[in-house]
Chains A and B, each alone.
Chain A
Amino acid sequence: GDSVTQMEGPVTLSEEAFLTINCTYTATGYPSLFWYVQYPGEGLQLLLKATKADDKGSNKGFEATYRKETTSFHLEKGSVQVSDSAVYFCALRKNDYKLSFGAGTTVTVRA
């Protein structure tokens, strides 16, 4: 079945550091790919998405490119802030609108 594997955390960084969270997927067909973020005490929010190969999703300084050849959708940000501390989930979605999530990566950014 469909599955998502993402980098285990927790990840601790200093402000202005470069962040990468790896995400790979297994799926038949052509899923849409997503990154969701969960801030402490809040629900999941869509951070960015890509719906087809080579698409790049971007938002709030974060970027991820849909790489079909490597079945990957790695999340990157060039300079993190304390406010980026959260749990990040990679997810895929097929035509039935069901989301399959990765395990989540906890990111802590220290001032």
Chain B
Amino acid sequence: GAVVSQHPSWVICKSGTSVKIECRSLDFQATTMFWYRQFPKQSLMLMATSNEGSKATYEQGVEKDKFLINHASLTLSTLTVTSAHPEDSSFYICSARGMTDKAVNEQFFGPGTRLTVL
């Protein structure tokens, strides 16, 4: 149980375009989802926290107008990278925290999405 999926697993786009990444909790409802960014051979950096039905909370230094987060349901959050540029190329990872039982105090991570902006 407690599986989180991400789609797509990798995407290549042209500079200036927007890219949407989906994060789904497959077998549990997630009150909170987190979005991280991971640079090569570096740690995960928390970008934002999203709660279902409310606006995301962004970490200091993360542009909320560039990284749009929507958490419309208890099983789906999306991250849209708007007007992407090569420096936005990275590995984006989501995690989800559940509502009940085992999932309530844990974060379960998706497999990540590799974004390359040309």
Hey, which bits of chain A sit against chain B, CB under 8 A?
36, 41-46, 89, 97-104, 106
Contacts and interface: CB of A to CB of B under 8 A. Distances in A.
A98 B46 contact: yes
A102 B38 CA distance: 12
Contact of B4 (A43, A46, A101, A103): A43
Nearest to A89: B43
Given A43-B109, A104-B43, A97 B32 contact: yes
B42 A104 contact: yes
Given A103-B43, A104-B42, A98 B93 contact: no
Nearest to A36: B109
A97 B97 contact: yes
B42 A103 contact: yes
Q: Chain B contact residues: over half helix, strand or loop, or mixed?
A: strand
B77 interface: no
A102 B93 CA distance: 16
B107 interface: yes
Q: 7 tightest A-B contacts by CB?
A: A43-B111, A44-B109, A43-B109, A101-B43, A103-B43, A101-B44, A104-B43
B110 A43 contact: yes
Contacts of A103: 42-43
A37 B69 CA distance: 26
A45 B43 contact: no
Given A97-B97, A98-B34, A104-B43, 16 more contacts: A43-B4, A43-B109, A43-B110, A43-B111, A43-B112, A44-B44, A44-B93, A44-B95, A89-B44, A97-B32, A98-B49, A99-B34, A99-B44, A99-B46, A99-B107, A102-B43
Contacts of B34: 98-99
B51 to A, nearest CB: 11
Nearest to B107: A99
Contacts of A42: 111
Interface in B87-118: 93, 95, 97, 106-107, 109-112
A44 B41 CA distance: 14
